[in-house]
Amino acid sequence: MLKKIIFWDYPRGSWQYDVIVLGILAFIFLTPREVFRDQPRVRSIVQVANDTPGMADFYLEPKLLLDTPEAERFQKAAKMLEVRDGKRFQLYRLAPFYDPENELKGYMAYTKLLK
């Protein structure tokens, strides 16, 4: 019987086949992420190369600030960038980034590294 389960040797539509499928689905959907140390990675904010000491530039996806009124975007972006990778940053400029068709592609955030 164990050999049949391992090699999935039951005919499709049998109750044994259905039990194996339910077991696989239960494993997929009920196993906590911590078991595999699988955590979602947010790539909505990406640090862009900058050679100036004490400065850091970040690209922010437009969805992060989409529903934020224009007057509050700077403060919201500053809050998101305040602490990154154990370092403290101060936002001094936030600039929208457009493609050639004038569609918003994101924001460039220019920061200073705080000590």
pLDDT in tens, 27-72: 999 998 778 776 665 568 888 888 889 899 999 999 989 889 999 9
Question: Are 51 and 15 within one domain?
Answer: no
Does the pTM exceed 0.85?
no
Contact between 90 and 79 under an 8 Å Cβ cutoff? The reply is no
Q: 91, 86, 32, 26: which is closest to 56 by C-alpha?
A: 91
pLDDT of residue 26: 96
Question: Are 61 and 83 within one domain?
Answer: yes
Question: Are 52 and 21 within one domain?
Answer: no
Question: Are 49 and 30 within one domain?
Answer: no
What residue type is assigned to position 33 of the chain? R
Question: Are 82 and 102 within one domain?
Answer: yes
Q: Is residue 57 part of a domain?
A: yes
Q: Is residue 40 part of a domain?
A: no
Overall average pLDDT of the 86-91 stretch: 89
- Counted domains in the chain: 2
Burial pattern 55-81, b for ≥16 Cβ within 10 A else e, equals ebebbbeeebbeeeeeeebbebbbebb
pLDDT of residue 107: 95
- Domain span including residue 66: 45-114
